[in-house]
Structure 1
């Protein structure tokens, strides 16, 4: 199981690291734009944004990579990779909610618990950051927003998977949305257990300046960017 986890982490880093590099390249322009608006941002908050971007692009990389198969072809080129053809319009498409859980139970009874557990937990885990980081970094955190982020991202992924010859499954959308909600619940847990840690990633606007959040000043309007 650890080997499979490391494999997917490597696939995620292929897109996550370049995304972080691009963000860092544009950071001076972002800093100047914030200064032009009379705002500043903390290093801790910027690191949180980078981690969020890395998680987002990592999820897109591991879920939208096309399915290939190897064909042994004679001649100079040897084995070549071909995009798998979809036999019919509705092949590898499931639009019936909760059908996957029946398949999970069937796999478990046949002794295929490892891959069943990996698929189930993986669909949850990869979307936990999509519920956690928006709640941590942006104003107005609530479970509905986290659910909407998870649902919308998962829906786009599942539609995209259809065109790269992968499985499109409504149950994946359900699990991904639940994973985003788990991320929001993790934020709530940390906000109760370590409120000061959470506050260091949030911001407060005072007289047109963005600073570390140490609590709203009496009588002053405060909002998180």
Structure 2
């Protein structure tokens, strides 16, 4: 539970805290319109990064795509591990979209850019984590003494 708590705090601290800079000892939040820097077209950013995987921005493209997936896999693993009511496919698919939707919606209202593709990648990651949880449970059952 403690590991999941620290993991959640680290994810939310990187995604929810508004963009800011420190100038003359004061914190200045970026309050420019997030809508200008946002993508509401599904797969637009994913395709842009995918096209760049062999281009000059390959590192940025790879880390953005992989990062949006790898960083959210633990949600899909830890949530059903810690709470039995989240062990069904339907509820975990709801959770898989609810968490990234919450993050992206919050980012919009605090002035950070948002991207519908982040929701898709994060949701896929949470489902991958849930599949890993299911595999882990099945392997554990198979290896349990009879």
Give the equivalent residue in structure 2 for 1:143.
89
CA distance in 1, matches of 2:5, 2:31: 32
Q: Which residue of 2 aligns with 1:126?
A: 71
Tell me whether 1:183 sits opposite 2:129 in the alignment: yes
Matched, 1:103 2:75: no
The residue aligned with 2:8 is 56
Deviations 1:113-148 (A, max 9, x none): 111111111111222121111222222412322221
1:157 maps to 2:108: no
* Structure 1: segments with no counterpart, 5+ residues: 1-48, 72-76, 200-213, 215-225
Asked which structure has the greater RCO (Cα within 8 Å, sep 6+), the reply is 2
Contact 2:46 2:65 in 1 (8 A): no
Larger radius of gyration: 1
2:58 is matched with 113
Instruction: Report the Cα distance in structure 2 between the residues aligned to 1:179 and 1:171, rounded to whole angstroms.
Output: 12
How many residues align? The count is 145
Structure 1 runs (4+) greater than 6 angstroms displaced: none
Q: Which runs of 5+ in 2 are unaligned?
A: none
- State whether residues 127 and 179 of structure 1, in contact with CA within 8 Å, keep that contact through their aligned partners in structure 2: yes
SS in 1 for 2:28: strand
Indicate the residue corresponding to 1:65 in structure 2.
17
2:37 is aligned with 1:85: no
Question: 2-side partners of 1:169 and 1:177: how far apart?
Answer: 13
In the aligned structure 2, how far is the partner of 1:101 from the partner of 1:118?
A: 12
State the TM-score, normalized to the length of structure 2: 0.83
State the distance in 2 between where 1:187 and 1:54 align: 19
| RMSD (Å) for aligned C-alpha atoms | 2.6
Whether the 8 Å contact between 1:154 and 1:173 is mirrored in structure 2 is: yes
Q: Which has the higher helix share?
A: 2
